[in-house]
Structure 1
Amino acid sequence: MNEDVRNIVLGVLATGISASLGWLGRTYRWRRRLRRKQAFFGLPGGSECLLVVNRESGGDNVVHRYDVFAMLELSALIKDCGAQARILPQDQTHQGFGDRTEFCVGGPYSNRRMAAHLTTLLPGVRVNVDVEPSEVRGSITIGAERYLMEKGRSEYVILARLTAGEGHRPVFLFCGQRAITNQAATRYLARHHETLARRHRGGSFVLLLKVVNSEAYGPDVVELVADVTSAARTAPPAPEPSGATATEPAATT
């Protein structure tokens, strides 16, 4: 009888120790993933970041519903990191970058902050902001390549993580041809941030994504077109003066 009791006690102790070790292992892995996530987004626990909200094209300070959905996707990421978001309109963000992580959503036509970031951080990117309908309206040019939009069928969005400024906190850009592409980029980031962190080792990157058939699939079907970091961060050569003419060498005697 005493031996049976001893075996039962030993079994209970072994089970308790195994459960404790399993719990400690899971907790360690969870904390390690959390630290990596916080490092990638530049969001240590208790920190504050900026969410820069654009306006709907043609609207009067109205935010498009797909951009609202994009903000919700980002808010979930921020909450998972134990950080807090400060939401600012695109025309009231009068501060530099690098001190706090920033998430900037929307194209340069509807987001002044995005227009400034493209000029300063991505000089190789040009976005057509013509109001009149045309074939090139909303097109994105990166280096020498131009990407045209087929509304509802084939649309493009830039997803960028850039480190600049004194504090070296990242700036995330979601610059799409339509609001639904902005949400597609935020969802892509939420799903693939671990892969992106391993691939780019916490450095800067600029990706061009293609949203396929958004009329049928919404923001869910996204293809990676190319890593355009080098072309996007390289300023195009300055055009030659329009009045410049070739000069003939002077005659010698």
Structure 2
Amino acid sequence: MNDDVRNIVLGLVATGISASLGWLARTYLWRRKLRRKQAFFGLPENSESLLVVNRDPATAEPAVHRFDVFALLELSALIKDCGANLQMVTQDATHQGFGERTEFCVGGPASNRRMLAHMAAMLPGIRVNIDPEPGPDRGAFQIGGERYRMEPGFTEYVLLARLSTGGQTRPVFLFCGQRAITNQAATRYLARNHERLHRKHGNNSFVILLKVVNSQAYGPDLVELVADVTRAAQTPLPKPEPAQP
């Protein structure tokens, strides 16, 4: 074998080794990223998850608002990315506890009784005005001592929460918006920012308040983080003082 042939062979071998090492490194990084995502969502491969669907409060018949359908599609993609399975149930057909499998619950307490139960059990510091009568406080959030009113189409709020009782239990994700479009905004925010949320909160519980800006023009895409309200949400609100006779 002359020098030219030997150099060609050595070059091919070096190229093959470099390509193999690059492929192994990319595979390792991809698997590590996937494991972190699975841990954050509580969705190991082939695990089961639950999607709880609300109803459209604007209709008399059982129906799901189209923006909530879009939110469910966003969540379905996240679940499939983790290699997990999903079961979709309506808010009035869920008669089970939480923690055995990851749950994604979509819709405010006025349209989702499962959300109402979760908030009463785990978020005693939040009160949502579910009065159907028109008024400035319709759909408003009270979080601790702060009140957040919506201006439909201009300024609307949504709560995004990851709640867990600790140990080996699976988390519950809540998407509690003042309007259906804000539910979709929260699911999209989670899909885009789950890595940052994982870095900040790990696998611990958190509750954040998001503001959806000018949804009539920008849809669910323009979202601002208002505050981390975890502590206020988990601290019971003071009981109202009895009316004076």
TM-score under structure 1 length normalisation: 0.94
Deviation, structure 1 residue 52: 0.2
Unmatched 5+ residue regions in structure 1?
245-253
Deviation at 1:171, TM superposition (A): 0.3
What's the secondary structure of 1:13's corresponding residue? Answer: helix
Partner SS for 2:175: strand
Paired residues, number: 244
Shift in alpha-carbon separation, 1:7–1:39, aligned structure 2, 3 A? same
Equivalent residue for 1:153?
154
Q: C-alpha distance in 2, partners of 1:34/1:167?
A: 19
Cα deviation for residue 167 of structure 1 reads: 4.5
Distance 2:216 2:240 in 1: 40
Q: What's the CA shift for 1:239?
A: 3.4
CA distance in 1, matches of 2:58, 2:216: 21
Secondary structure at 2:40 match in 1: helix
Please name the residue that 1:247 is paired with: none
* Structure number, greater radius of gyration: 1
Amino acid at match of 1:24: L
Distance 2:43 2:190 in 1: 15
1:118 paired to 2:114: no
Q: Look up the match of 2:5.
A: 5
Report the RMSD for the aligned CA atoms in angstroms. 1.3
Question: Residues 126 and 237 of structure 2 are in contact (CA less than 8 Å); yes or no, is this contact kept in structure 1?
Answer: no
The 1:208/1:69 distance shift into structure 2, 3 A limit, reads same
CA drift of 1:168 comes to 1.7
Are 1:206 and 1:227, in contact at CA under 8 Å, matched by a contact in 2? yes
In structure 2, the partner of 1:250 is none
- Distance in 1, matches of 2:167 and 2:50, equals 16
TM-score normalised to the size of structure 2? 0.97
Superposition pairs for residues 7-46 of structure 1, below 5 Å? 7-46=7-46
Identity %: 71
Three-state SS of the structure 1 residue aligned to 2:159 is: strand
Question: For the Cα contact (< 8 Å) 1:90–1:111, is it kept in 2?
Answer: yes
Structure 2 CA distance, aligned partners of 1:144 and 1:65?
33
Structure 1 partner of 2:79: 78
CA deviation vs aligned residue, 1:147-178 (integer Å, no higher than 9, x gap): 00000000000000000277521000000000
Pairwise CA distance, 1:240: 4.0
